[in-house]
Amino acid sequence: MATVTYDKASRIYPGSERPAVNELNLEIGDGEFLVLVGPSGCGKSTSLRMLAGLEDVDRGRILIQGKDVTNLPPKSRDIAMVFQNYALYPHMSVYENMAFALKLRKTSKAEIDRRVKEAAQLLQLDEYLSRKPKALSGGQRQRVAMGRAIVREPQVFLMDEPLSNLDAKLRVQTRSQIATLQAKLGVTTVYVTHDQVEAMTMGHRVAVMLDGVLQQVDTPRALYDTPGNVFVAGFMGSPAMNIKTVTLTESGAGFGSLLIPLSREQVHAASNGGGKVTIGFRPEAADLVSANEGGMPIVVDLVEDLGSDANVYGHAALDGGSERFTVRTDRRHMPHMGETVYVKPQANAIHAFNANTGVRI
């Protein structure tokens, strides 16, 4: 187990002026499960590969347990990586795949046998040890790849979108297995995904990246409740937060026919936004009200019935244009397509951001 430190680490690919990862500063605690998340091309996989030694660090440093590993080869870093495509040897059995790295280290046969069988028991692979990868399901192959990493007993686990090849149901099941396994082993883990639901449900902390720059790192709950900027607010949560840039007044934000009250401090912090302020509210933080309760009229375009509740998608006239909104409601209040409903955001659940900088105010 170990701590991991990115100290102003940057990666600039040849022929590119913009860094793929730009001065990443990040401290990962001993035994922590940290998730790197963001859209495609944001630099999360490059950051992981820099830690693994598979990408050069052009500026800055990377440390594992306080030791500078920036220029060390991958085999000298005491890390184990689980790849998106499993990377299993097709001609070897499950046992041989899991034992391969230990054989290269010239570990004794008895020790190899102990570690492989312990990992197989942990991953419920006991009965598959003699099978070849082609005789396994996607989920079983993924567990073999995990087992191959576990037997090495590394200081740090690195996982690069390991669930992306699994179907939806298996992905949910396997992510809970990985989180439980990490808690049991207590090994520092850095996990990359583009799926913010995975990030929210698995990580002790989540680091959100965009265009090679770290936007915010915090617990999943803090990222959801107090996003630091507009990008994090829109990226974390499904369905996404309703975010609109509207007219700023002395007492708040002119949100269509609604006035969203803002504190004096928020109005002041928004004052350099060119007379505008960016307001956001989560789909579940709004109520469907009657026409005379002062809600914003929204014409329903689509209703997704999820069983226990429903997502209502619609459009509303706002500042001379048509804007889309999403509201979550329970099944007793499900409207119909084409119907006009009245939406009122909950006063204590409004998020406000500077219209110029996008920073939370």
Q: Are strands 79-82 and 188-193 parallel, antiparallel or unpaired?
A: unpaired
Residues with Cβ within 8 Å of residue 358, at least 6 apart in sequence: 229, 230, 231, 278
The sign of the CA dihedral 178, 172, 120, 144 is negative
Q: What is residue 57's predicted lDDT score, i.e. its pLDDT? A: 97
pLDDT band at 30 (very low <50, low <70, confident <90, very high): very high
pLDDT one-digit tens code per residue, 168-191: 888 888 888 899 999 999 999 999
- CA gap 188, 160 in Å, rounded: 15
Domain map of the chain by residue range? 4-231, 242-354
Q: What is residue 318's predicted lDDT score, i.e. its pLDDT? A: 84
The neighbouring-strand residues paired with 191 are: 35, 159
The predicted model gives 209-222 an average pLDDT of: 97
Q: What is residue 287's predicted lDDT score, i.e. its pLDDT? A: 92
Q: What is the CA radius of gyration of the chain?
A: 24
- CA gap 21, 161 in Å, rounded: 18
pLDDT band at 148 (very low <50, low <70, confident <90, very high): very high
Q: Are strands 276-281 and 286-289 parallel, antiparallel or unpaired?
A: unpaired
- CA gap 344, 256 in Å, rounded: 11
What is the CATH T-level fold of the domain 4-231, as seen in this structure? Rossmann fold (3.40.50)
**CB 96, CB 103: distance < 8 Å:** no
**CB 279, CB 352: distance < 8 Å:** yes
Q: What is the pTM of this model?
A: 0.91
In a 10 Å sphere around its CB, with 0-12 CB exposed, 13-18 middle and 19+ buried, how is residue 265 labelled?
A: exposed
- CA gap 253, 113 in Å, rounded: 66
Share of the chain above pLDDT 90, in %: 82
pLDDT band at 166 (very low <50, low <70, confident <90, very high): confident
* Distance from the Cα of residue 157 to its chain's centroid: 17
The predicted model gives 215-238 an average pLDDT of: 96
Coil, strand or helix at 122: helix
**CB 188, CB 29: distance < 8 Å:** yes
**CB 36, CB 190: distance < 8 Å:** yes
Q: Where are the alpha helices (DSSP H) in the chain?
A: 44-52, 94-104, 109-122, 138-150, 168-185, 196-202, 220-225, 230-235, 264-269
Residue 254 has pLDDT above 80, yes or no: yes
Token duo for residue 145: 């790849």
* Distance from the Cα of residue 358 to its chain's centroid: 20
Tell me whether the omega of the peptide bond preceding residue 239 falls within 30 degrees of 0, making it cis: yes
Query: Domain 242-354, CATH 1.10.3470.10 — does that match?
Result: no
**CB 151, CB 116: distance < 8 Å:** yes
Residue 63 has pLDDT above 90, yes or no: yes
- CA gap 207, 39 in Å, rounded: 12
**CB 228, CB 359: distance < 8 Å:** yes
* Distance from the Cα of residue 138 to its chain's centroid: 22
- CA gap 152, 102 in Å, rounded: 7
**CB 246, CB 318: distance < 8 Å:** yes
